[in-house]
Amino acid sequence: MEAYQETNFFATLFIIFISAGLTNNILLARFLGMCSCLGVSKKVDTSVGLGAAVTFVTATTAALNYLVYYYILVPLGLEFLKLITFIVVIAAFTQFIEMVIERYSIKLYNSLGIFLPLITVNCAILGISLFMLNKPYGFWESFAYGLGGGFGWFLAIALIGGIREKINEKFLPEGLAGPGITLIIIGIMSLAFVGFSGMIKI
């Protein structure tokens, strides 16, 4: 904690970003956001597309939820409503993003297909918004934490997508194809990420 206070502002943000993304990876260390990860990680480009969308939504909703929590819920004494409020804010924001993607990048819209609504219920996004309240963060730190968490999810799904693309499922036992082998891959990868944990305390 002392080291944390001595470093300057931008370095702090950077450390929060790196630690949220790598040492406390939301997907590989906390196993959040699993359903959309299993669904969409078949190809690298859709993985990257969804990952980028999730990163964007996570970072923005972390900032939005920070403002909502400290400037609306706390003054009104309604902290206990944070869960439902965050869900609604995230859902509305995702709807908005869906509209924007549909209008301006029809290709991305089509490739995300029915998984777009999944962003709404992606627990990684809600998780980041809730976790950030446990830490003594200000606005920018929260934003960096959200960005880092989203980036971690992005990194994980892109890596998983890359591995799945290389796997020839023909050689797998029938029951293992699809989600089965993906879960095993995620398990092995998370072993590596558990190795990072505790390197940076935030």
Interface residues with another protein (CB under 8 A)? 72, 76-78, 80-81, 84-85, 88-89, 92, 95-96, 99-100, 102-103, 106, 110, 113-114
In whole angstroms, the minimum distance from the beta carbon of 142 to another protein comes to 20
Q: Is the Cβ of residue 7 or residue 110 nearer to another protein in the bound state?
A: 110
Q: Is the Cβ of residue 19 or residue 47 nearer to another protein in the bound state?
A: 47
DSSP 3-state of 189? helix
In whole angstroms, the minimum distance from the beta carbon of 86 to another protein comes to 11
In whole angstroms, the minimum distance from the beta carbon of 114 to another protein comes to 5
Q: Is the Cβ of residue 87 or residue 200 nearer to another protein in the bound state?
A: 87
Q: Is the Cβ of residue 15 or residue 97 nearer to another protein in the bound state?
A: 97
Q: Is the Cβ of residue 79 or residue 169 nearer to another protein in the bound state?
A: 79
Residue identified by tokens 């998370």 is 190
Can you read off the two tokens belonging to residue 197?
């944990």
Burial of 91 (0-12, 13-18, 19+ CB in 10 A): middle
Q: Which of these, 56, 144, 137, 140, lies nearest to 100 by C-alpha position? A: 56
| Spatial contact of 151 and 17, defined as CB atoms under 8 Å apart | yes
Q: Is the Cβ of residue 1 or residue 84 nearer to another protein in the bound state?
A: 84
In whole angstroms, the minimum distance from the beta carbon of 31 to another protein comes to 27
In whole angstroms, the minimum distance from the beta carbon of 168 to another protein comes to 24
In whole angstroms, the minimum distance from the beta carbon of 124 to another protein comes to 21
- Kindly write down the DSSP assignment for every residue of 112-172, as one continuous string: HGGGHHHHHT-HHHHHHHHHGGGTT--HHHHHHHHHHHHHHHHHHHHHHHHHHHH--GGGS
C-alpha torsion 122→126→138→50, nearest 10: 0
Can you read off the two tokens belonging to residue 53?
């969308």
